[in-house]
């Protein structure tokens, strides 16, 4: 019985978004490279500051590589939310000077 339960759990978590997105460098001096392994034809991303203010929000065609330019934002911490396969995941991004 436990073996069956574990098998079902593995199937449900097979598409875990944490295994599908690589962000580098972090912290960054400006440009952040994102590698996506996502089945969705479109990717939605949003950048918020630590006050929760939305700074940028876009829906783009999925081409498995994305570069986001943080050069227009001051040094600090930002939250990048990426929605892949209808699963949003938020990452903390450091912007250095």
Tens of pLDDT, residues 19-78:
578 899 999 999 999 998 888 888 899 999 999 999 999 998 887 788 999 999 999 999
Question: Where are the extended beta strands (E) located within 2-63?
Answer: 21-24, 31-36, 42-49, 54-61
Q: Residue 3: what pLDDT?
A: 44
d(CA 25, CA 31): 8
In CATH, which of 1.10.10.10, 3.90.930.12, 3.50.50.60, 2.60.40.3080 is domain 2-95? 2.60.40.3080
Q: Residue 19: what pLDDT?
A: 52
Q: Residue 28: what pLDDT?
A: 95
């Amino acid at each position: 019985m436990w073996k069956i339960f574990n098998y079902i759990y593995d199937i449900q978590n097979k598409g875990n978004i944490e295994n599908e997105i690589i962000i580098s460098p972090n912290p960054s001096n400006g440009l952040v490279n994102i590698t996506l392994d996502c089945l969705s034809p479109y990717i939605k991303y949003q950048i918020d500051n630590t006050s929760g203010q939305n700074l940028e929000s876009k829906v783009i065609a999925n081409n498995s590589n994305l570069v986001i330019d943080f050069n227009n934002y001051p040094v600090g911490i930002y939250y990048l939310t990426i929605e892949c396969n209808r699963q949003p995941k938020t990452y903390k991004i450091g912007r250095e000077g």
